[in-house]
Amino acid sequence: MINCKTNQFLEDLHHYVPGQSIADIKQKYQLNQVVKLASNENPLGPSVVLDEIKESIDAERYPDTTGLALRQALASQLTISPDNIVCGNGSDELMTMLSQVFLNSTKSIVTADCTFSVYEFVASTCGAKTIKVPLQDNTYDLGAILDAVDDTTSLVFIANPNNPTGTLCSHNEIELFLEKLPSNVVLVLDEAYIEFANESVRPLASQLLHKYPNLIVLRTFSKLYGLAAYRLGYAMANAELIQLINKVKPPFNVNSMAYEAGVKALEKSEFIKKSLHVNEKGKQRLYQFFNELELNYEASEANFIYVELNRSARDFCNECLKHGLILRPLTSFGRPNAIRVTIGTESDLDFFETVFKSVWKV
Ligand X SMILES: Cc1ncc(COP(=O)(O)O)c(C=O)c1O
Residues near ligand X (CB under 6 A)? 40, 90-92, 116, 159, 163, 190, 192, 220, 222, 228, 233
Smaller CB separation from ligand X, 22 or 228: 228
Whole-angstrom Cα Rg for the chain: 21
Query: In this complex, which beta carbon is closest to ligand X, that of residue 263 or of residue 359?
Result: 263
- Which residue number, 122 or 321, has a Cβ lying nearer to ligand X? 122
- The helix or strand, by DSSP H or E, that contains position 25, with its residue range, turns out to be helix 22-29
Please report how close the Cβ of residue 158 comes to ligand X at its closest, in angstroms: 10
* CA–CA distance, 121 with 16 (Å, rounded to integer): 8
CB of 276 to ligand X, least distance (A): 18
Cβ-based nearer residue to ligand X, 40 or 154: 40
Q: Does the bond joining 250 to the residue before it have cis omega, within 30 degrees of 0?
A: no
Measured CA to CA in angstroms, residue 173 lies from 143, 185, 208, 223, 272 at distances of 10, 17, 12, 24, 27
With respect to ligand X, which residue has the nearer C-beta, 90 or 289?
A: 90
Cβ at position 103, least distance to ligand X in Å: 18
Q: In whole angstroms, how far apart are CA 105 and each of 3, 5, 355?
A: 23, 17, 47
CB of 4 to ligand X, least distance (A): 29
**Considering the complex, what minimum distance in angstroms separates the CB of residue 193 from ligand X?**
7
Neighbouring-strand partners of residue 157: 188
Go through the chain and tell me how many residues it has. Answer: 362
Measured distance CA(150)–CA(334) in Å, rounded: 25
CB of 99 or CB of 289, closer to ligand X: 99
Give 107 or 340: the residue with its C-beta nearer to ligand X: 340
Q: Least distance (Å) from ligand X to the CB of residue 291?
A: 26
Q: Kindly tell me the number of DSSP H helices and DSSP E strands found in the chain.
A: 13, 12
What sign for the dihedral angle of Cα 40, 43, 47, 50?
A: positive
Instruction: Give, in degrees to the nearest 5, the angle at Cα 328 between 322 and 330.
Output: 125
Strand order in the sheet with 85-88: 85-88, 233-237, 215-220, 186-190, 153-159, 108-112, 129-133
Q: CB of residue 17 vs ligand X: minimum separation in angstroms?
A: 11
Nearest residue to ligand X by CB is 90
